Amino acid sequence: MSPTRRDFITASTAALAAGRFPWPLTLPASRTHFAPVQPTRPVPSSAQLEWQRDERALFIHFGVNTFTDREWGDGHEDERIFAPARLDARQWARAARAGGFRAMILTAKHHDGFCLWPSRTTGHSVARSAWHGGEGDVVREFVDACRAEGLKAGLYLSPWDRHDPSYGDSPRYNNLYCDQLTELLTRYGSINEVWFDGANGEGPNGRKQVYDWLRVWGLVRRLQPGAVMFSDAGPDVRWIGNERGVAGDTNWSTVDPAVVPYPGASGDAVMRMLQEGDLAGSTWRPGETDVSIRPGWFYHPAQDAQVRAVEQLVDLYFTSVGRNSKLLLNVPPTTDGLLHDTDVSRLAGMRERLETLFHEDLAANRPVERHSTGAGSAIVEIDVGRLVAVGIADLREDISRGQVVARYTLEGADAGAWQTLARGTTIGYRKLDRFAPVKVRRVRLVIDEVAAPQQPVRIGLYAGEA
Ligand code: FUL
């Protein structure tokens, strides 16, 4: 766990701790475009489904820290230091699109409390900055750029606020926090994701803030019913449990909500639930994998030579999207207000490499046989029709009907006996297995264990490394 998340234990209401949520966690059936086939297995809402299918979102950490060269501001910054000379949110959005990303999420406020929009709730904002003579609004530019480039827009509003004197005076700060959320969710049109991190540091004189999560989540649901809410405790999308970019190898999109009752909860059981989900979980809450392209979340010139290489970004795709998660990759703007050229070219390189890897599906339009063995396993067998080298398998369940597969073996054969290509546990939206290329004519997926009656699994096969 990154040091940025230590010591943030927050208390909350008994109802929350018991996992009792007074509003529907999924959208009403009329807003979904699927009919649950097994009423006992959780299924995603249409918003959760779309969120997952987007696969990649770009995280934008930007604010006073960009100018003080810090990761966590203390809230005492002079607002005038915020002066991005060439800020261009369209450049961020174009870089996102060129990288194959379908959404962006901006830190509208980080722990320093500095608001990137002119908020009526505080003077610690762009309105007192040198940028555009205090008339600018980064959130507006961000949302406009998302719309112009066809990206979904998400906002991060840090609950922890090191600037506002009301922080730690719980009811008063909760009012301010809800007022800030209301501004963000009513001024800028449709927002697709609202992001709450789990950090909960001390307020002035060591006072502890007790957040009113039920109120916060209820407010977002009311103001933006189509948005998914992210936090350790969802309610729609959960943190994956680390900031290294690695989802659990076993990763259920279902959880037991009582195990992670509020953002910032800690302990082994919490971490396991975040990483792996729970086969028997009652609630659909898929994992989001947030990780930075650089060592820090904010831009630091000293890290210009430490931008992840294209191959490392591709690895992140395999350990997030390829493990039934979604990748939220942070790329921080510089003091100019632009993404750095190195980062931009890595994003484009990532897309190019992924397009090459997934260029030709060797299983496309090939005959598929489905049968079961005497031992009760289901088998999906593909006749590839010719001898080909296979190095990547792309397995997918139809998650609109829930997630079912708990254990599988992938095998390939030329003329002789079957040999194992990969073994795994969960599949979900997408499971990518990479292995040393093997020459095969036939491939079969043996499904050894399921959590509910078997549903079809789609298999894609790719050459991988030559
Ligand atoms: C954490 C924060 O403390 C980090 O600064 C960063 O914003 C990360 C995404 O979330 O809780």
* pLDDT at residue 466, as a whole number: 56
**Percent of the chain residues topping a pLDDT of 90:** 86
**Residue having the nearest C-alpha atom to atom 6 of ligand 1:** 297
Mutate to test the pocket of ligand 1, among 4, 160, 230, 294 (most ligand atoms within 8 A of CB): 4
To which residue do tokens 């890595």 refer? 346
Task: Retrieve residue 217's tokens.
Answer: 């989540």
Express each pLDDT in 358-380 by its tens digit.
Answer: 999 999 999 999 988 777 789 99
Residue 5 has pLDDT above 70, yes or no: no
Q: Ligand 1 pocket, 197 CB below 6 A?
A: yes
Nearby residues of 404 by Cβ (< 8 Å), 6 or more positions away: 41, 397, 450, 451, 452, 453, 454, 455
CA of 385 to the centre of ligand 1 (A): 50
Number of Cβ atoms within 10 Å of the Cβ of 43: 22
Residue 125 has pLDDT above 50, yes or no: yes
Q: Ligand 1 pocket, 212 CB below 6 A?
A: no
DSSP 259: T
Give the C-alpha distances (Å, rounded to integers) separating 174 from 197, 200, 284, 412, 417: 16, 13, 27, 57, 64
39 falls in which pLDDT band (50, 70, 90)? low
Q: Does the CA dihedral 217-63-260-292 come out positive or negative? A: positive
What is the DSSP secondary-structure string of 28-64?
A: -GGG-SS--SSTTS----HHHHHHHHT-EEEEE--SH
CA of 396 to the centre of ligand 1 (A): 31
Residue 162 has pLDDT above 80, yes or no: yes
* pLDDT at residue 415, as a whole number: 87
Nearby residues of 73 by Cβ (< 8 Å), 6 or more positions away: 63, 64, 65, 110, 111, 112, 113, 114, 162
**Residue having the nearest C-alpha atom to atom 2 of ligand 1:** 4
Task: Retrieve residue 159's tokens.
Answer: 């609950």
Residue 24 has pLDDT above 90, yes or no: no
Number of Cβ atoms within 10 Å of the Cβ of 311: 11
Q: Ligand 1 pocket, 199 CB below 6 A?
A: yes
Residue 279 has pLDDT above 90, yes or no: yes
**Lowest-confidence pick of 30-34, 228-232, 256-260, 457-461:** 30-34
CA of 87 to the centre of ligand 1 (A): 23
Atom of ligand 1 nearest to the CA of 110: 7
What predicted TM-score, i.e. pTM, was given to this entire model?
Answer: 0.92
Chain centroid to CA 63: 21
d(CA 120, CA 157): 15
Residue 287 has pLDDT above 70, yes or no: yes
